[in-house]
Homo-oligomer: A and B are copies of this chain.
């Protein structure tokens, strides 16, 4: 059933029985170039030849196939990243939007505790950690010495 793990987004799409059309190629290429995250509108802006609907459809497709995952910024802004492993969590830079993974799923520990306490059934979870990434942090420090707006 599992026809060898897909190594690229292209392979993932094809293995799932979807056609690898030109617009999709373009989107996949762009996405692959932004391993630390992108927004759907960014893709739209950078691929004016491709229709908005197609961009959203393709992102949704990748989402459904588990090839990318969706994150939510502190303000609710959605953002997508390449999904390297199965289930994992991210840190999301509130300044530049860069995402990074953290596998160490200590989250499971919480869930175990919770499972014991909860009468219901735990179906899933979402965890987002908001950070200021090293690069942005540096900029912050450089800038803050000057005029405070």
Q: Which of B78, B107, B110 contacts A76 (CB 8 A)?
A: B78
- Total interface residues on A, using CB and 8 Å? 37
* Contact bitstring A99-125, B, C-beta under 8 A = 1, else 0: 010101011011101100111111111
Q: Is the CB of A129 within 8 A of B114?
A: yes
* Contact bitstring A119-149, B, C-beta under 8 A = 1, else 0: 1111111111111111011000000000000
Q: Number of copies of this chain in the oligomer? A: 2
Q: Known contacts being A74-B126, A78-B76, A125-B127, is A120 close to B106, with CB within 8 Å? A: no
Interface of A with B (CB < 8 Å)? 72, 74, 76, 78, 91, 93-94, 100, 102, 104, 106-107, 109-111, 113-114, 117-134, 136-137
Q: Is the CB of A132 within 8 A of B137?
A: no
- Whole-angstrom CA separation of A94 from B74 in the bound complex: 21
A-B contact pairs, 8 of them (CB 8 A): A91-B122, A100-B118, A102-B114, A106-B106, A107-B110, A120-B131, A123-B132, A124-B129
